[in-house]
A and B are shown apart, each in its own frame.
Chain A
Amino acid sequence: MNENMIASNARPEDGIRSAEERIIDAEKLKKPHRKITKDWALWVVFAVFFLYAVTLVFPFVWMLFNSVKSNQEYFQNIWAFPQSFHIENYTNVLLNYEVHNVSLIGMFGISIIVTICGTVLSLLMSSIAAYVISKYKFIGRNALYALAVFVMAVPVAGTLPAQYNIMQTLHLTNSIVGVLILYASGFGFNFLILYGFFKNLSWEYAEAALIDGCSDFGIFFRIMLPMAKPALIAVGVIHAIGLWNDYVTPSIYLPRLPTLAVGVNLLLSELRGQSAYPEMFATMIIALIPILVVFICFQKTIMENTVAGGLKG
């Protein structure tokens, strides 16, 4: 069994003691002023966090209470509390809005499918590429990494005609499959993050399995991917939010099946022409709530320690 090779001042005669025992001993040894110091630092940080959080929540709250104002009220004073509550700003969008005969619910459904499938595909491609390039020595691995950086650093614009041309040749211009294939990129932001992550991941996990006769495929799917869960979820959530809000690709390649982002973009541009800001805010909030909900559900998984150990047992 692996020993805890922690460079520490633990005395040899301590032997193998449980963590709890050691903590209890340490508590006894602890000097009182340490506790106060620790708390003091945390509370200072709390104050900083609180101030920063207030400035971040502020735009959201501002948008929220302006979304129920009438247009006139909004133009009169953007900071005042709403005098009347125009819920129709929300109900108009929720109940009546449709694009190409697809209702808001329909757009929502299409968005969910496109986002989930697109994220899964991208994560799959990126983790495959990141894992292989970070863990396996072969000619060209550094070139591939450099290529990934290049992909990220090229300010791309004006490539739509070329892209559309290729999609046309492949008969993919009017299907979800086309959009998903475009989304299934393995060499972008996700790749770079996952590369860094896999680089950091100990190969020892694989060695044991290799000795046992496991194939490389098995190592990846059965050991490495599960280990990568926190990173995958973190990257996945960020990527999913990006896909949820993306309207350029779906508007061009899925013209008859508008995603929520496409529908929202059209509606916002309509409202912007009338400077109907309260209704714009209501629309944005409707589009935003699902993301917020998803993030709240996942943030615990991302940010809290869920992996307590490694190769024990």
Chain B
Amino acid sequence: MKNKVLKFFVLIMAVVMALSVGVMFAACGENSPYDLKIAVVHKEYGQRWINALARKFEEETGLVVEVEANPNLQSEIPNRLQNGSDDDLFFSHGITWELYAAQGMLEPLDDLYEMEVSDGVTFGSKVLPQFRTAARFNDHYYKVAWTNGTGGLVYNKKMFEDYGWSVPTVYSNPANPTCDPNVGAVGLLELCEVILDDTNGDVKPFVWSSETYYWDYVVFDWWAQLAGVDKIEAYTQLGSPEVFNPTTSPEQKEALKAWKNLIADHPEYSMEDCAGKQYTAAQMEFVTGRAAMIPCAQWLESGMMGNYDESTCVMDLMPTPFIDGAKTDENGDPIAVNYSVGSTNSGDSILIPADAPHKDTAKQFLVFMFRDDNLKLFSEETYGVQLAADYSNVTLDDEATDFMKSVYNINANSQKFDLLSSAMPVLEGFLSLDWPIEGVQHYASLVADPNTDIDALYQSNYESIVSRWSEWFE
């Protein structure tokens, strides 16, 4: 018996040895045969865009580009930065790049921002201002913001047209209960009643899911409508705990109350038990026409492509209706704002490692990517997503879908804002700017208990922040 076990063991070891020798020889042959290596987090946008850009870059420059689309990249980046790798560019979500910048693991990009993209136009000027400031740390540029996300209420355009509903432009207009655009502005609140009436309750106005952060894309727009984007920018600077004072800065609280008034106080406006629904299930209900609207963002159409029939759903994104008290411009018109989806705390980032083998080529690629024709290429290959760049010289083709056009228009016509911050409490994880303190959303708990005292909630949060402020900044 011992002989048998031992023989087997030896055999296994021999096989393993032979294999590993073979592998080592195979691996030896590879000697970085490419001129640029790009690693991309493989998520909602797929990899068509990066492959398209890479091939075009290869055509123009004659260089060889290697693309790695890796779903686990976000968790591997710390390792690759620390221990070295052959990557020249990282495209990632949610990574605390400031930590790596502080440790000298990222290549400073000051020169990149000065490089020319086209005649007289620098890379830095192509990057939207809000994303330029957010890319600085310790007086240097260390990253490029990746996307300028767009979110809000996605609605079923076909259903709206079939039933003759108008897209609401305000939160509520009690003077227009039938939602007749000739009478006045159409209110979202009133539209819900109209939807229920016209469909006998068969179609619900809203469907959403237990991943309630999708509502942020609507609620934060209301917040910015009330506060103005400048106040939110000041908020992200975290100059003092007073930015959380609900007496002087009640706007987020009011926005949440508006949501509560729409959703939590009107369970009949949402499909049953949305707080317990899977996100996939919510998508299904929307594209099969069981709900008229779903809070979502720019990836919905590309994610749902091919999964539904245009006879049931044509999707479009509406600019977030204006809440009562929205700031107005000099003409008295409310100012359109839009939250850059994904820009919370550290946001998404394009990074170049400090010991990347081909740094100059990497910068060359980024300059290439921010050229107008490639900004357009990116949008086309992602069904509407935009890079964090100035798209004013880019026009979409007519074949673009309604959804893509709306994403483009909202980005072009709104003041964009974000919740990016490099302040200490955020970097250290003590504070989350979207829902201070811990990033806990209140949507599900408000649905469970609509009698929750929102004022008290905000007040106690504020007091808690004040008491811990000095400790966070020591």
Contacts and interface: CB of A to CB of B under 8 A. Distances in A.
Is chain B found bound to chain A in the same assembly? Answer: yes
Interface of A: 71-72, 74-76, 78, 113, 116-117, 120-121, 124, 158, 160-161, 164-165, 168, 174-177, 180, 218, 221-222, 225-226, 248, 251-252, 256-257, 265-266, 269-270, 273-277
Contacts of A256: 23, 26-27, 30
B16 A180 contact: yes
A165 B82 contact: yes
Contacts of B1: 221-222, 225-226
B284 A175 contact: no
Closest 7 CB pairs of A and B: A269-B71, A221-B2, A177-B20, A161-B82, A71-B307, A160-B79, A161-B79
Contacts of A76: 288
B5 A225 contact: yes
Contacts of A275: 280, 283, 303-304, 307
A108 B304 CA distance: 31
A50 B76 CA distance: 44
Contacts of B17: 177
Contacts of B288: 75-76
Contacts of A180: 16
Nearest to A219: B2
A72 B308 contact: yes
Interface in B68-116: 70-72, 75-76, 78-79, 82-83
Contacts of A274: 46, 302-303, 305-307
A175 B82 contact: no
6 contacts: A75-B287, A116-B12, A175-B20, A221-B1, A266-B42, A269-B42
Given A160-B79, A161-B82, A72 B309 contact: yes
B23 A174 contact: yes
A270 B20 CA distance: 30
By DSSP majority rule, is chain A's interface helix, strand, loop, or mixed? helix
Given A273-B44, A275-B307, A120 B78 contact: no
B373 to A, nearest CB: 25
B347 to A, nearest CB: 20
Given A164-B83, A221-B6, 18 more contacts: A72-B306, A75-B307, A78-B284, A117-B12, A160-B75, A161-B78, A164-B82, A176-B23, A225-B1, A252-B76, A256-B30, A265-B71, A265-B72, A269-B71, A273-B43, A273-B303, A275-B307, A276-B307
Contacts of A160: 75-76, 78-79
B382 to A, nearest CB: 11
Nearest to A169: B83
Given A160-B75, A221-B2, A269-B42, A174 B27 contact: yes
Contacts of B9: 120, 124
Contacts of B83: 161, 164-165, 168
A218 B2 CA distance: 7
Contact of A75 (B2, B72, B308): B308
A222 B1 CA distance: 5
A60 to B, nearest CB: 19
B45 interface: yes
B13 to A, nearest CB: 9
Nearest to B82: A161
B262 to A, nearest CB: 27
B16 A117 contact: yes
Contacts of B27: 174-175, 256
A139 to B, nearest CB: 29
B381 to A, nearest CB: 13
Report which residue of B44, B47, B72, B303 has the largest number of chain A beta carbons within 10 angstroms of its beta carbon.
Answer: B72
Report which residue of A251, A256, A275 has the largest number of chain B beta carbons within 10 angstroms of its beta carbon.
Answer: A275
Contacts of B424: none
Contacts of B75: 160
Nearest to B309: A72
Contacts of A74: 307
B15 interface: yes
Contacts of B306: 71-72, 274, 276
Nearest to B41: A269
Contacts of A75: 283-284, 287-288, 307-308
A176 B19 contact: yes
A276 B46 CA distance: 12
Contacts of A174: 23-24, 27
Given A225-B5, A256-B27, A273 B79 contact: no
A120 B43 CA distance: 36
A176 to B, nearest CB: 5
Contacts of A164: 79, 82-83
A269 B308 CA distance: 20
B18 to A, nearest CB: 10
A76 B309 CA distance: 9
Contacts of B19: 113, 176
Nearest to B303: A275
Given A161-B78, A164-B83, A221-B2, A117 B46 contact: no
Interface string B302-318: 11111111000000000
Contacts of B307: 71-72, 74-75, 274-276
Nearest to A77: B288
Nearest to B45: A273
Report which residue of B9, B17, B42, B307 has the largest number of chain A beta carbons within 10 angstroms of its beta carbon.
Answer: B307
Nearest to A110: B19
Nearest to B281: A78
Interface in B51-78: 70-72, 75-76, 78
Interface string B411-427: 00000000000000000
A161 B81 CA distance: 9
A158 B72 CA distance: 14
A165 B81 CA distance: 11
B16 A176 contact: yes
Contacts of A72: 306-309
A117 B15 contact: yes
A57 B306 CA distance: 30
A266 B71 contact: yes
A251 B284 contact: no
Contacts of A218: 2
Contacts of B44: 273
Nearest to A256: B27
A226 B1 CA distance: 8
Contacts of A121: 12
A274 B47 CA distance: 11
A231 to B, nearest CB: 15
Contact of B2 (A165, A222, A251): A222
Contact of B42 (A177, A226, A270, A277): A270
A277 B8 CA distance: 42
A273 B46 contact: yes
Contacts of B24: 174-175
A120 B199 CA distance: 63
B309 to A, nearest CB: 6
A51 to B, nearest CB: 25
A175 B23 contact: yes
